[in-house]
Amino acid sequence: MSEAELRAFTGKGNSSGSDSEEDLKIRIYASYLLFEMSNSGNALEEAILWTKRGIVASPPDKQALNEWLDILVTLLVILHHSQQLAGRIAEATEAIEDLSRAIDAMKTAISLTPDDSPDLADRLNNLGLWLSTRFERIDMVEDLDYAVEAAKKAVKLTPESHQHYAGYLNNLANSHGKRFQRTSTVDDINCAIEASSRAVKSTSRKHPSFLNSLGVWLCARFETSGELMDLDHSIEAARRAVDITSPSLRKFERTDSVKDLNEALDIFTQCLGATPRDGPNFASTLNNLGICHGMRFERAGSIADLDHAIERTHESVVSTPHGHPQLPNRLNSLGNQLRARFQRTGAAQDLEHAIDAAEKAIKIATKTHPHYPTYLSSLANKLSLRSERTNEVHHLDRAIDLIDEAIQGTPLSRDSLAAYYNNLGSSLRTRYEKVGRESDIARAIEASNKAVDLTARDHPDISSYLNTLSNVFGSRFHRADSLDDLDRCIKNITKAVEAMPQDHPDRSVIINSLGNGLDKRFEVTKSAGDRDSQMQWLLQAWNSKAAAPSQKNTSSWFCCLRIHTAKRMGEGQCIAA
């Protein structure tokens, strides 16, 4: 039938209440076909109205009612997705209402489904998926709680030999993983990795979606703890399942945490190779691969990783249609990689492109989006860097306002809040150095202390937060000349160095800062202990195998200068090269 014929057919008999079940289903199908041809939401709404009429007229037995509810749920989900693809998802309200109607209908269908029905697991799985989708839009943690429970039941009801068993496990993993991202509950990330590993083991090693999920949650666990020793068993299972053997992808293998990061990179690389370019998971896999390359750059310091990170995240953004709910997240990822390269190379165009990506992410995302505070803080970080480069304070003013807004945003995990306070402390410190406002340095100390207090001592970011706190006290010392501030500066930067892995590429930079602080205190106190500590730390920086040559040269320069000074003061000592 043509579109005109379908419109004529669906327009007949709208006022009739005596349609048979068969007539109603024909009208529903015709309305759906019209939607497929014209992409008209009105046609789909018409199909939904016919379906509701079928529910009202349904015989009073559970099986018949369930059939109608299944039709209603399917149509509502299709309507939700069509609005998403049309870009209306940014407005959220109408699309979320349709999704909520689908969730309510599915809950009713589940309540009417016998425990031994073969349809129950599938309905529970779909309910979990839609609850998880709604959480991403309105940030109700209760949706994730229900999603996890529904997914658990679906897995429990399904035999391991069932064709959908791996898919149900993967959805369970993603529900646990999303809840971990929201609440930082360690048990959730453990469960996510366990379920993902089981999904990979139970199906083809080339299944992109399952490999992608496993890589995502391995990266998330690495990013949170820095050490993944307790995952040896599940990682070995994943390795056997995907047959990862390439030695070229082990070149940055240093510690157990980096092994796990390499594992995630291997998985994403295989996943990308198995994902069609026009498939729905292609952009997501590119983004995840780019993020992992960026994380490995931060840990191992290879600029090649950073270049790969930018290439992958940029391609992910290009591959994501306008209006897609993940576009802001992918823009944010791209901006973060560009910002990292600017900090490494000083290329101003990278910073400007990073700011542009961050601005777009904020413009696209709704203020109620659970990641909106992250996007605000991310833009603020980049504006602070621009202010340092251009010496224009108004960029810094806006950055501080954005971080304040992020902190006051939706309920935040401890990790997120700590990161925002760290950014706030750093930005306030920079403005204090430019403007000299005492209230800024007082707030900077308060914010930086909060970042440290909110962070576990074994968290991989604790050294960065301690370094920020040290810098804040150092800035006040330079203006107020208070020895107490210098003591606190040295105390915190010493903790920062001690918290960093021995092979971290930035360790030498932090040690050089510690050497500066000890040198300043020696000038005031003439303490031999400060001189000895300074020499020991600087030699450690010089002997570091992970330090970049430029960092070693700085350390060497410091060592030579200290030796020269010590000799002039009659305190020379032999230092082994």
In the structure, what pLDDT confidence band is assigned to residue 56 with cuts at 50, 70 and 90?
A: low
Rounded-to-integer distance, Cα 53 and Cα 67, Å: 13
Spatial separation of the C-alpha atoms in residues 562 and 535, rounded to whole Å? 8
At 546-568, the pLDDT tens digits run 555 545 545 544 554 554 455 44
Whether residue 181 is predicted with pLDDT greater than 70 in this model: the reply is: yes
For the chain, give every domain's residue range. Answer: 371-501
Q: Average pLDDT for residues 5-18, to the nearest whole number?
A: 57
Residue 543 half-sphere exposure toward CB, CA atoms < 13 A: 10
The two tokens of residue 214 are: 């496993």
Give the pLDDT confidence score for residue 561 in this predicted structure.
52
- For residues 41-50, average pLDDT: 70
Q: Residue 523's pLDDT is what?
A: 87
Q: How far is 248 from 559, CA to CA, in rounded Å?
A: 37
* Identity of residue 436: G
Give the list of residues 6+ apart from residue 227 with CB closer than 8 angstroms, or none: 255, 256, 257, 458
Mean pLDDT of the chain: 79
Q: Which residue type is seen at 217?
A: W
Confidence band of 41 (pLDDT split at 50, 70, 90):
low
Angle at 188 between CA 183 and CA 192, to 5 degrees: 130
- Report the candidate in 493, 500, 495, 459 with the shortest Cα–Cα distance to residue 473: 493
* Res 504: pLDDT: 78
Q: What is the per-residue pLDDT across 435-447, written as a single tens digit (0 to 9) for each?
A: 999 999 999 999 9
For 485-495, what is each residue's pLDDT tens digit? 999 999 999 99
The angle, 0 to 180 degrees and rounded to 10, between the axes of the packed helices 62-85 and 93-112 is 160
Cα–Cα distance measured from residue 491 to residue 470, given in angstroms and rounded to the nearest whole number: 8
- CATH hierarchy code of domain 371-501: 1.25.40.10
d(CA 102, CA 464): 45
In sequence order, the 6+-apart residues with CB closer than 8 A to the CB of 180 are 186, 188, 189, 192, 220
Q: Residue 300: its pLDDT value, please?
A: 78
237 burial level (CB within 10 Å; 0-12, 13-18, 19+): middle
Name, of 49-63, 210-224, 229-243, 515-529, the range with top average pLDDT: 515-529
Selected residue with higher pLDDT from 387 and 505: 387
Calculate the CA 158 to chain-centre distance. Answer: 31
Q: Tell me, what's the pLDDT at 87?
A: 45
CB count within 10 Å of CB 125 equals 22
- At residue 245 the predicted structure's pLDDT band, cuts being 50, 70 and 90, is very low
Quote the pLDDT of residue 409.
75
Please enumerate in sequence order all residues whose Cβ is within 8 A of that of 493, keeping only pairs 6 or more positions apart, or say none: 466, 467, 470, 510, 513, 514, 517
| Residue tagged 């949706």 (tokens) | 143
* Strongest mean pLDDT among 26-35, 168-177, 364-373, 504-513: 168-177
Alpha helix stretches (DSSP H) within 58-119: 62-85, 93-112
Q: Using one digit for the tens of pLDDT, what is the confidence trace for 311-325?
A: 999 999 999 988 788
In the predicted model, what is the mean pLDDT of residues 286-298?
87
Work out the pLDDT band at 57, boundaries 50, 70, 90: low
**Res. 576: pLDDT tops 60:** no
Using only the alpha carbons of the chain, give its radius of gyration.
29
Is the pLDDT assigned to residue 240 strictly greater than 50? no
Cα–Cα distance, 121 to 127 (Å, whole number): 10
Find out whether 50 and 31 touch, Cβ atoms under 8 Å: yes
Return the ∠ at Cα 41 (arms to 123 and 54), rounded to 5°.
50
Residue 530 pLDDT greater than 60, yes or no: yes
Model confidence at 63, pLDDT cuts 50, 70, 90, reads: low
**Amino acid letter for position 125:** N
pLDDT surpassing 60 at residue 176: yes
Cα distance between the two ends of the chain: 86
Can you read off the two tokens belonging to residue 258? 């980096």
Is the per-residue pLDDT at 382 higher than 70? yes
Tell me the pLDDT band of 242, cut-offs 50, 70 and 90.
very low
- DSSP E strands in 457-516: the ranges are none
What percentage of the chain exceeds 70 in pLDDT? Answer: 73
The span from the CA of 471 to the CA of 422, in Å, is: 11
Report the residue count for the chain: 577
CA–CA separation, 564 vs 558, rounded Å? Answer: 10
Cβ atoms within 10 A of the Cβ of 329, count? 23
More confident position, 176 or 61: 176
pLDDT(170) > 60:
yes
